[in-house]
């Protein structure tokens, strides 16, 4: 299993759903300025799910399909992909190509495909995929935003009023403080203090605090210190944003998101190692506790069979 316990997918999904206009203006301003944001935008989860089931090309981390209206009045669909894994994927541009034409083929809707690349390879910036045969040429070119391009703009990100300025900063700081617990604690506390200084409405603070908390995981003793500092800040500023119930909800969401991320990661590694997975493995991954996922992640390093990964429990099925 990959060494990092940082799981980015769930907070990104939540943030895009809550703040789509801010996502678009931050990463894709040209597209943003072509959209009529006075008209409702609608996430098309059912439509995307039906397409994805027919075109499994690697593990998806964050995929969203949304219907918007252009300023011209035309309805448009936008396929949004956030590639958050730490390694370059040769099949990524092909996946963008396949999803684009499959959505068009099924629904006869023009599709704009946009991608945020959150990996750590600064020079990996694929922006097209296609093929040529006997004089015919079929190519998809798609805009990307690369988070490593913001590495030198941290102060600017932290000063931004855009939710994705802070989220991008949190993502960068999460990478920079991997395996550096004290530094991550300090960085996380810095972000939280900025949230309180913004004087945003309570729900926005809670939403973004949830993203920061999900991204910047800490050992329990340091996590407790963070919450204690937050209580001190709230007492000093005579404001109460996070109740004990909301704190429990944030922590629960973080744990559930982390387990989901670990399960997806292990599934991908098992598929790469052993091919298509039988139903009993999928069921195990879906119902596993975090401790089991971690144990299986260690076992995959030396196991020669699926049964060996799961300590021969499969033979009892």
pLDDT value, residue 144: 93
Task: Show Cβ contacts of residue 102 under 8 Å, excluding neighbours closer than 6 positions.
Answer: 51, 54, 55
Residue 255's pLDDT is 57
- DSSP states of 53-101: HH---S--SEEEEEEEEBTTS-EEEEEEEEE-SSS--TTHHHHHHHHHH
Report whether 27 contacts 78 (CB < 8 A).
no
Sign of dihedral through CA atoms 270, 276, 278, 284? positive
The pLDDT value given to residue 256: 58
Distances (CA, A) of 19 to 62, 125, 127, 254, 265: 15, 25, 25, 19, 26
Cα 284 to Cα 282: distance, rounded to the nearest angstrom? 5
Number of helices and strands in the chain (H, E): 14, 7
For residue 50, the model assigns a pLDDT of: 78
> Which is nearest to 105 in space by CA: 54, 70, 142, 143?
54
| Per-block mean pLDDT, blocks of 10 residues, the chain (317 long) | 44 86 96 94 86 54 86 90 65 88 89 89 90 95 94 94 94 91 93 87 85 85 85 70 51 58 71 78 77 75 78 45
């Amino acid at each position: 299993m990959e060494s990092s316990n940082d799981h980015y997918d769930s907070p990104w999904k939540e943030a895009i759903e809550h703040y789509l206009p801010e996502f678009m203006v931050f990463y894709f301003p040209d597209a943003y300025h072509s959209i009529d944001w006075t008209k409702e935008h609608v996430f098309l989860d059912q439509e995307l799910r039906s397409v994805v089931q027919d075109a499994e090309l690697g593990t998806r981390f964050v995929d969203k399909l949304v219907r918007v209206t252009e300023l011209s009045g035309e309805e448009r669909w936008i396929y949004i992909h956030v590639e958050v894994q730490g390694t370059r994927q040769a099949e990524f541009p092909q996946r963008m190509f396949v999803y684009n034409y499959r959505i068009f083929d099924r629904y006869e809707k023009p599709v704009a495909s946009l991608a945020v690349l959150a990996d750590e390879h600064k020079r990996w910036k694929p922006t097209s995929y296609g093929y040529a045969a006997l004089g015919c040429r079929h190519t998809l070119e798609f805009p990307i935003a690369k988070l490593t391009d913001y590495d030198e703009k941290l102060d600017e990100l932290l000063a931004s009023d855009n939710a994705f300025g802070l989220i991008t900063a949190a993502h960068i700081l999460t990478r920079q403080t991997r395996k550096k617990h004290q530094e991550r604690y300090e960085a996380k506390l810095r972000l939280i203090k900025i949230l309180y200084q913004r004087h945003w409405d309570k729900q926005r603070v809670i939403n973004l605090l949830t993203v920061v908390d999900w991204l910047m995981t800490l050992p329990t003793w340091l996590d407790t210190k963070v919450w204690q500092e937050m209580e001190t800040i709230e007492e000093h500023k005579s404001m109460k944003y996070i109740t004990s119930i909301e704190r429990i909800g944030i922590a629960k969401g973080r744990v559930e998101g982390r387990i989901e991320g670990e399960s997806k990661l292990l599934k991908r590694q098992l598929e790469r190692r052993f091919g298509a997975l039988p139903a009993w493995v999928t069921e195990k991954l879906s119902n596993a506790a975090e401790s089991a996922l971690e144990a299986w992640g260690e076992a995959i390093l030396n196991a020669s069979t699926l049964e060996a990964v799961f300590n021969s429990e499969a033979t009892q099925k």
